[in-house]
A and B are shown apart, each in its own frame.
Chain A
Amino acid sequence: MTALIALPVLLPILGAAITVIGSRSPTLQRVVGVVVLLAVSAIAVVLLVESDARGPLVAELGGWAAPVGISLVADRLSALLLLVSALVTLAVLVYAIDQRIADYGRGTVSTTFHPMYLMLSAGVSLAYLTGDLFTLFVAFEIMLTASYVLITRRTSAAKIRAGMTYVTVSLLSSLLFLTAIGLVYAATGTVNLADLAGRIELLPPGLVTVLGLMLLVVFGIKAAMVPLHFWLPDSYPNAPGPVAALFAGLLTKVGFYAMLRTQTLLFHREEPWTLLLVLSVATMLVGALGALAQNDVNRLLSFLLVSHIGFMLFGLAVFDAAGVSGAALYAAHHITVLATLFLVSGLITRRTGTVALDRMGGLARTAPGLAVLFAIPALTLAGVPPTAGFVAKLALLQAGVAAGPWTTAVAGVVIIASLLTLYALARVWVRVFWGEPKPALPDDDPDDEVVVGTAERTPVPMYAATAGLVAVSLAIAVFAGPLSAVTGRAGVDLLDREPYRTAVLGVGP
């Protein structure tokens, strides 16, 4: 069973190698990409079932035991996020493949897209599975390097600055991460997370605070936590549709996962974390209010993405089993719904030829199917019952109210931010889907990757991939009972820490 743990990392890398070698055969690339991601999804299902039944699964790379060697750990949290991420990656790949076929023709050769897409998937898997702070850094680098290539390839002059901002900010956060690792190692002499959990408690409290805050800042940049979010609404809207969907779905959530993992495992608290509560309020409100001011549909979604990172931060800030499990459930739901919304936005843009809200209209009449595809994830994101978003938000609210007066107050902010989200999305709905149909505008920037205003050449699989993601989101709502039971157990495990440490180190405390 432990043999499976390394596969979600190694298979995509192998797939990337094959797609590089076969870069002159687009069909081979497409088949390899889809097959690899299907395999990763299947493995993730097995890992989730097994880790839920038997506790954290550990694989020691090269046979070197922790804390000397590198361990890969699949517990409930990582297996669940791995599964959701793999499904989203697969759906977005299908969408991207068909978009490329429609826009550039079936025989178009791409040396970089498929290898980089699979490398990004490998990096995401490694980030979820690693049990080692430095391997987490490597995972982030694999993921980010692939994302740099994906966001800057075929950019036009107008959009290259977005790529620059993204690359520079990510590089800065990576170097800060490395600094934090150096400090952690200097203080404790290990980078293994399970080993660190025991050793950090022995350090002076001031040093522990510094290390905890450094890791918070590092993952805060990656997760787009206010006030470290500024790069996100600037860069994501300029990426091609599927790439933006992938980034919005996965990258920030990997940052949040790293934050959740390190803070619960290394920096244990007994009561809610005031600093993170304040930051989560700021994130929720800045994101939601920022979304209201936007006219560009992708920028609006980016701000909503930031806003909803605040919901997860709130779950972590509550710092009890209910809060953490709520955050985990929210992350799983958020990965699917944001990716879906960005894919739908890509479909809308293809039909209307613009991203400006005030230049579209009447799509409910001309494209009713698209309206349904938008409405379901929009209601899910806003948290209207009985969607998955409602289930996840309810878990967070219950955790907040149970934890004390201050967290109850922040739970009120959660409701306000949800209403603002609903308002922002209703604005999109009114502008885009109601009103008089407007003719499609010509492509404003023919040089770049984003081809717009080509509704008649939108193949069915693009809609099917989006609908598949909507189905995943609905499945989360339907199976909310078992899922919240799994995340509940994951939350208890995360705060208990002993199952993880025992599984990795092989001995009790």
Chain B
Amino acid sequence: MTGPTTINLAMAVTVGVLYTAGFYLLLQRSLMRVLIGVVVLGHGTNLLLQIAGGPPGRAPIVGTGTAETITDPLPQALALTAVVITFALTTYLLALGYRSFVLVGHDEVQDDVEDRRIATQKMPSASLDDDQDHTDEDHTDEAATRQDPS
């Protein structure tokens, strides 16, 4: 078992394109696009695993050839495992997107409301003094709005 000394340029470019497209899609808001991004990225990763196994050869089954002519079976086993896992998680994301569609009416990832609220605070009310008779009305209002699942 030796590592590949040269790799196929076409394969390397394909992996690059798949990664680029996958990452671009992952950055989208719609969960469907994220899902397609995961699938594309998964294909890129599996192709990379295959390339890692060295040059192509005969099927790695005992009796089909000598040890020199068959391909390295381990990356194929790794890729198969990865395919299974990606497949399962794709299904899960699909179900999650559908759930979001049923619950919210779309499948877009929303902003973190609490994070936005803290970012827009004028002064952090992080003091030990103003605790007991806390009458900062604006603050409480905002906290109350946050509780509404809108």
Contacts and interface: CB of A to CB of B under 8 A. Distances in A.
A171 B3 contact: no
A183 B52 contact: yes
Contacts of A427: 126, 128, 131
A234 B115 contact: yes
A175 B45 contact: yes
Nearest to B143: A356
Contacts of B34: 168
A145 B103 contact: no
B49 A185 contact: yes
B58 interface: no
A369 interface: no
Nearest to A185: B52
Contacts of B112: 161-162, 165, 234
Contacts of B128: 426-427, 430
A313 B38 CA distance: 29
The size bracket of the interface on A is 35 or more
Given A157-B149, A182-B48, A186-B51, A152 B81 contact: no
A182 B52 contact: yes
A178 B31 CA distance: 22
A211 to B, nearest CB: 12
Contacts, number: 145
Interface string B42-53: 100100110111
B96 A167 contact: yes
A175 B25 CA distance: 14
B21 to A, nearest CB: 13
Contacts of B55: none
Interface string A409-445: 0000000000000000011001100111000000011
Contacts of B31: 164, 168
Interface in B55-84: 74-75, 78, 81-82
A444 B147 contact: yes
Interface string A142-165: 000100110010011111111111
B17 to A, nearest CB: 15
A171 B93 contact: yes
Contacts of A431: 131
Nearest to B131: A430
A164 B109 contact: yes
A358 B48 contact: no
A430 B109 CA distance: 35
Given A182-B45, A294-B118, A295-B118, A358 B140 contact: yes
A147 to B, nearest CB: 11
Nearest to B46: A178
22 contacts: A145-B85, A158-B150, A160-B100, A161-B100, A163-B96, A165-B112, A168-B26, A171-B38, A174-B89, A179-B45, A181-B49, A182-B78, A185-B49, A295-B114, A295-B143, A354-B147, A356-B143, A358-B139, A361-B132, A427-B128, A435-B132, A436-B132
Given A157-B103, A237-B114, 19 more contacts: A145-B88, A156-B149, A159-B149, A162-B112, A164-B31, A164-B96, A167-B96, A168-B26, A178-B45, A189-B1, A191-B78, A234-B112, A234-B115, A292-B126, A293-B124, A293-B126, A358-B134, A358-B143, A359-B140
Interface of B: 1-4, 22, 26, 31, 34, 38, 41-42, 45, 48-49, 51-53, 74-75, 78, 81-82, 85-86, 88-89, 92-93, 96, 99-100, 103-104, 109-110, 112, 114-115, 118, 121, 124-126, 128, 131-132, 134, 136, 139-140, 143, 146-150
